[in-house]
Amino acid sequence: MLSSARNRKAQVVVWAALMMVFVVGMVAFAVDVGYMLLTRSQLQNAADSAAIAGAAVMSQGTEAVVAEAQEFAAYHVAASDKVKLDAGDVEFGVWDSDARKFEATIDPGNAIRVTVRREKAALFFGRVFGHKVFSTQASAVATATPRDIALVVDLSGSMNDDTEPAWATTSINKNFDSSVGSDLMQDLYTDLGFGKFPGNLQHLGASLGVKPDKYAYAEMTKDEGPLASVSIPPAYRIAPTDTEAVRKQKAYSWLINYEIAPMMPAALPQASTGNYKYWEKYLDYLILPVKIVAPRPPAPPQPVGPKPVGPKPTPPKPTDPPPPKPPIGWILPGDESLVAAWSQSPLAGVPESHPAVSLEPLAFAGDAAQALLLASQSLGDPGSPPIERGWLPPSQSGDRITGFNNPNKTNFPDSSTSLPRNLRNYIGYLTYAQFMADHGRDSEPAGFSPLSMQNPFCPLHEEATAGGVFQFPPRTQPMHAARRALIAAIQVVKERNKVITNHELRDWVSVISFDTGSGLVQEITPDYDAAMKACVTLQAVSDKAATTATESGLIYARAHIRQPSEGGKGRAKVDKVVVLLTDGAPNLYESDKDLIDGYSEKNGSADFYGGGYYWYDAPLMQSALMQADHWRVFPVGIGLGADYTFMDRLARMGGAANDKGESARGSGNPAEYEQRLTEILEAIINQPTIRLVD
């Protein structure tokens, strides 16, 4: 029994010794395995960080990607040493989200794969078992989320402003380098074949020896005027029996054939009576209207009497100010009539009569009308006979050089109204260029002007751009700078996506325009060349009344790039980006006022204007609605009239403001428009959402 007990104790000791070895071995194994897992986890963190950092700068080229990935990898430690990322362990390629597969490519695609390694890291206890070191690695794939991008472009009348020579050129030269405005106009003159800017100007009727004053037309067309001479061909000769309408037709025909044609031989359509209706509108636009009436008799003497005594009457109490108005005009929702803040009589400020002529020398005349006629003839009253001609020219169009928002005091506050007024009655390329710019792409004085691509005479010229060579219409500004910058931005998108063969994994682009309303220029597409060609056709509308329907453009963009299940043409599971390009403040809106008020009150943002400024608050509401759907809205200003207070609010509402709560700043210098605008658009394109996918 004693021997058996001793044997059992000996066995326990042996088993205990063996178990101790096993336990120690397991502990050692656990420590080393834990250390290996910790190192692997540290490497994974380094790979994730490096992949995200590198993918964020893919637009800067392969060297920048590798450098950025290496920098962020080095911030991490694995197995007590800093992580070192070899350049060869940064791979470029395409991530297929459907197949969840990374395919390596030579050129950058939409993703990168980073592999970090730890070679020959020492083990704690493994050497006891003959394993002194271990090696491990970790990989991460980061990709840019595909985007549906809507480029929303302002085509309001002010997008031609910088090349309106009747007033803008003077203001630009004054505020910037003395040649900046003139250089812009020289580009436009070159495109139109007008020679050297500004060219010559000739006063109406100069070829007939008419005095260059406001009565030039009236003098040309009176009974004894130069057009009544027997030397004038019968087609243009004024007869005393001619009505004012006939006199106008004859005088205008003379001016077209004998003054416009010699002064502007390169102007299209050809200055001839065959194009009378068109050139009639140009002359109506230029001529200063005057009213020819019979001289008024002198006023009767005023009775002399005592001056009134007593206190002066109390002036009436001023009325409350009217509600605010847009900068130019507005359309109330559901109201088809346009209410323009600039509206005024086209004849405001024009004298209605001439100084009174004394009738005393003609007291022998028994008939008052005959006396007035004799007085007019004897004293050479301007523009008569006949007398009582009324407003001349008759049936004159209300579209004048002093209208069309000339000058644009919102964008050019220091511009003088005297600049366009002083050009009335002057014929030449300068006033014709102003005439075409004012009518834009859509207004038809009698057919579209040659500045519009809707006119067969529109001269196209070839230009090289970042996206290739295109045939452009004449270079009105800032419209042309916007066209070229948009093409450059789309080219950046094209470069980013060139190795992605699956179109569903690409960024898609659409182009939407707005002026008095909105429209689709290019449907959302992965065909970048088609989108660039669409940008070539962008032209501003006539600068007449309110033409900046910013909200309408945003509404159209939101509806267009929605996914099909929501009625749009966009895609599901992609980011949505809206880029708004505008040169001024909005002045039209579509949404119901109660809807805008209700949304702004519920939203509670201090960025809403309130107080009836619906043309501002309506686009702010649209931006906030898109941001609520996790879209981003980037407002980009161009030109001298960009309202950055409004643009900053729009950027904050759309989730695209910088750390200071600001939108991107364009250049106010026309010479720098294109360069700065291109930089801004490229920066937007090059900041997609980056995410880890593997």
Residues 6+ apart with CB under 8 A from 44: 138, 140
Rounded Cα distance between 194 and 215, Å, is: 29
Rounded Cα distance between 401 and 282, Å, is: 9
What does the pLDDT look like over 433-483, one tens digit per residue?
A: 999 999 999 999 889 999 999 999 999 999 999 999 999 999 999 999 999
Distance set, CA 326 to CA 207, 540, 554 (Å):
45, 20, 18
pLDDT, mean over the chain: 86
What does the pLDDT look like over 44-57, one tens digit per residue?
A: 898 899 999 999 89
Cα(first)–Cα(last) distance of the chain, in Å? Answer: 68
Q: Coil, strand or helix: which one is 126?
A: helix
> Two tokens at 231?
């030397």
Fold of 148-160+459-692: Rossmann fold (3.40.50)
Helix and strand element counts for the chain (H, E)? 18, 20
Amino acid letter at 301?
A: P
pLDDT-based confidence at 257, cuts 50/70/90? Answer: very high
What does the pLDDT look like over 16-25, one tens digit per residue?
A: 666 666 555 5
Between helix 276-286 and helix 244-255 the angle, nearest 10°, is 100
Residue 610: pLDDT over 50: yes
Read off the pTM. 0.82
Contacts 24+ apart (CB under 8 A), 40-45: 40/136, 40/138, 42/76, 42/77, 42/78, 42/79, 42/83, 43/76, 43/78, 43/83, 43/116, 43/117, 43/118, 43/136, 43/137, 43/138, 44/138, 44/140, 45/76
pLDDT-based confidence at 232, cuts 50/70/90? Answer: very high
For residues 70 and 87, the answer to whether their CB atoms sit within 8 Å is yes
- The DSSP bridge pattern shows strands 461-465 and 290-292 to be unpaired
Rounded Cα distance between 680 and 664, Å, is: 7
- What was the pLDDT predicted at 308? 60
Q: Coil, strand or helix: which one is 144?
A: strand
pLDDT-based confidence at 414, cuts 50/70/90? Answer: confident
Residues 6+ apart with CB under 8 A from 204: 210, 212, 216, 217, 220, 255, 259, 286, 287, 425, 426, 427
Give percent helix, percent strand, percent coil of the chain, each to the nearest 5: 40, 15, 45
Residue 5: pLDDT over 50: yes
Q: How many other CB atoms sit within 10 Å of the CB of residue 278?
A: 20
Give the residue with greater pLDDT, 34 vs 218.
218
- Phi, psi values for residue 635, rounded to 5°: -80, 135
- What was the pLDDT predicted at 374? 37
User: Dihedral through CA 594, CA 597, CA 600, CA 602, nearest 10?
Assistant: -70
Residues 6+ apart with CB under 8 A from 578: 149, 150, 152, 554, 557, 558, 561, 626, 631, 632, 633, 634, 654
Give the residue with greater pLDDT, 384 vs 434.
434
Rounded Cα distance between 254 and 246, Å, is: 12
Domain boundaries, the chain: 12-144, 148-160+459-692, 204-297+324-425
> Two tokens at 598?
């209700």
For the chain, how big is the Rg over CA atoms in Å? 38
Nearest to 250 by CA among 269, 273, 231: 273
- What was the pLDDT predicted at 27? 61
For residues 479 and 184, the answer to whether their CB atoms sit within 8 Å is no
Q: How many other CB atoms sit within 10 Å of the CB of residue 303?
A: 5
- The DSSP bridge pattern shows strands 290-292 and 390-392 to be antiparallel
Between helix 614-628 and helix 550-560 the angle, nearest 10°, is 20
Amino acid letter at 230?
A: V
What does the pLDDT look like over 273-329, one tens digit per residue?
A: 999 999 999 999 999 999 998 766 666 777 666 666 666 666 666 555 555 666 653
Rounded Cα distance between 524 and 507, Å, is: 10
For residues 585 and 641, the answer to whether their CB atoms sit within 8 Å is yes
Cis amide leading into 311 (omega within 30): no
What does the pLDDT look like over 331-345, one tens digit per residue?
A: 334 343 333 333 333
- Phi, psi values for residue 23, rounded to 5°: -65, -45
Measure the CA angle with vertex 54, ends 49 and 56; round to 5°. Answer: 100
> Two tokens at 54?
């590198």
